[in-house]
Every structure is written in C-alpha cells, then in structure tokens.
Amino acid sequence: MRKLLLLGLALSVFVAFAAPGMAAEKVIKIGYIGALTGDTAVWGQAGLNGMKLTAKKVNDAGGVLGSAIEVIGMDGKGKPEDSLNALSKLIDMGVIAVVGTNFSSCNIPMAPVATAKKIPLLATAASDPKVTVDETGKLLEYSFRIGFIDPFQGRVLAAFAIEKLGAKTAAILTDIGSDYSYGLSSYFEEEFRKLGGKIVASEQGRAGDNDYRAQLSKFKTVNPDVILVPWIDKDVALIAKQARELGIKAAFMGGDGWDNQDMITMAGAALEGGYYTSQPSFGREVTKPYYDEYVKTYNIKPETEALFGHDAVMWIVDALKRAGKADSVALKGALENTTGFEGLMGTMNIEKKTHNPVKPCSVMTIKGGKIVYVGDFMPKN
C-alpha cells in the first residue's frame, strides 16, 4: 500500500513538473490546500491528485488563455493554523486562485484572508454556511464553494417530494439540538410551501430522547404524504420503527445523515421506500472515464474529494475563459456569475448573495434493506 502511495506521489510530481513544459513562459498557478499528511490525508491526496490529473488534460488540450495550468499542493494538515500558513505561502508564490479545503474549521479563518488579498478561495466539501458568509450574513467576497451546504438538501428533498413523489402534504420532525437538522427542516419547509405543498405538522425532539411516539401519534391524525426526518444515526431508525408501530404508512425522507448502512439494516422494513440525499459522487455515469483514468494513473480508488478537485479546475478554467484575462479580480467576477457550469458532479449555478452553489443532489432510496441510487435531482430556481 505504501509503495503504491509513493508511486502515486512520484507520478503526480512527474505530472506537475512535466505539464508546464509546453508553455514554459506563460503559466497560471492554482494552489490546493488539503491534509496531505496525517489522519485525513486520504482526502487531501485525492483532491490534489484529481486536480493534477485534470490540469494535465487541460494542458494537453492547449491550456487556457494561451497558458498552461500549474497545480501547487500545500499541506494544511486539516488544521486551521497550518491551512492559514499554506494560504499565505501560496499567495506569495503568485497563485491566481486556491482550492480547498474540505474542512469548514479551516475555511472559516481562511476566507477573510483570501478576501483581503483578493484571491478566490474555492472550498470543496466544507459545508458550514459560515464558510462564505460571516456571522452577520455579509458575503466574504472571495470565498466560494463547490459542495452544497447541508440545509440545501432540504430544498432538494421538498422539490423531489412534490415533483417526483406527487406529495401534497408533509410533516416534519426536527432535532432541536442540531443545527444540521434545523437547517434542513427550515429549507424544506420554505421550498415545500413555495411549490404549493402544505406542511400539516411540525414537531420537535432531541437526539437521545429515544421515544418519539407522542410526536408521531400527532402525525398519524393528520396523515401526511411524506415525513421529513433530517436526523442522524440510530434515532432515524427508532423514529421510523415507532411510526410503523403506530400504523403510519407515509414515506420517510432525510439528508446525508442517513448514509449509514448499519442504521438502515437496523430499521429493517420501517425505512423501506424512504428517500435521502447526498453529495453527488462516483455513482454518476459521467464520472466513469475520469474514474478509470484516475485508477490507471494513481493505482488507487479515488475519493469524492478527487471529483471536487476535477470540478474546481474545470470551473476555474471556465471562469478564466469568460473573464478573458488571467487576473484574480476578474476571475472572482466570472466565478460569481457562473450559470450552468457542467462539472462531473452536475450542473452548477452560483447564488450571488451567498456564493453557495445550486446544483443537483444525488437521491437514494432504500430497497430490500439496501441503499439504491435513484438519480440526481436539482430544484428549479
């Protein structure tokens, strides 16, 4: 395994050095910050590998704006202070933009620095809303992200329920102890109402309460078409089981907190026919050639972070072409005005007020106790 990793590293260094050869004079530098060492290095390495693989493809096809792309990886160790140092070093090296990280804790302190230095910073999987807007809701102008924020899944679930499941009424059970659950619920409620649905009951509980039958008994009397349960871990299974015990037949829906085969096995028949959302990944057909090439190049299976790396490079290339010049301020403007960017993770628009992407979520269903990929779904703007 270690040998394979070393080989992968050696290859990636080779790719990085070999690529600029074609246009030695003109190079556009893009930085990447991720945990290249330590416990979470598996993601950081995948992100960097993914970017380098994509940059090579771009360069082989003639580069962008007459220049080659050079990807420079810098170890942020998954820690805020190291990531901040890495950001300063990359800016000193003259990068036009920086990609990374996948940790909100690292991007929250980096975003104001990138904004002050006018260098676009593109977070990958960091999902905290505060990565792109500050405490008061003010936009951090140079901070972007490729992955969607957690509550966005609520919007997708609401649209999916109405358009695909034909739901007219919904009930919501929120974990009041969790920001994640609260955010998903409120986005769901807003979108569901906007699309003409009716929220017939909204109840609260707290993870660890264990018994949710008081709330569920109320749901039974209003008989909703779908029940949103944006919880994580065993409580999802407990809620579903208790609901079935009470004779509730409605389909359950949830976010990526459901992405846990153990929990689904435990719920047994209770979650059957339920739906949940998650970040698009290699389940998508269009990712196949990239997946194969990645495996061929690095001899290791790619993590989802590699897809983020790919989409980040392609998004920057797309924005540079639209900006017409290799300048970080112009690049920021072009990134902000992105509509219909086609990445491997789906079509992406950018919300100007928040710099959050509007893009498809992968929708999964539970069939025969197993997680089955249904397809990608995106709410209409």
Task: Name the residues that contact another protein, by CB under 8 A.
Answer: 176, 203-206, 208, 210-211, 213-215, 217-218, 220-221, 233-234, 237-238, 241-242, 244-247, 262, 266, 268
Which of residues 81 and 262 has its CB atom nearest to another protein in the complex? 262
Closest CB to another protein among 162 and 266?
A: 266
Tell the smallest beta-carbon distance from residue 343 to another protein (Å). Answer: 34
Nearer to another protein, 117 or 213 (CB): 213
CB of 247 to another protein, least distance (A): 5
Instruction: State the minimum distance, in angstroms, from the CB of residue 176 to another protein.
Output: 5
Residue closer to another protein by CB (options 240, 331) is 240
Q: Which is nearer to another protein, 269 or 329 (CB)?
A: 269
Min dist CB 369 to another protein, Å, is 13
Closer by beta carbon to another protein, 13 or else 246: 246
Q: Shortest approach of another protein to residue 232 CB, angstroms?
A: 12
User: How near is the Cβ of 217 to another protein at its closest, in Å?
Assistant: 5
Which distant-in-sequence residues (6+ apart) come within 8 Å of 360 by Cβ? Answer: 156, 280, 345, 346, 347, 376, 377, 378
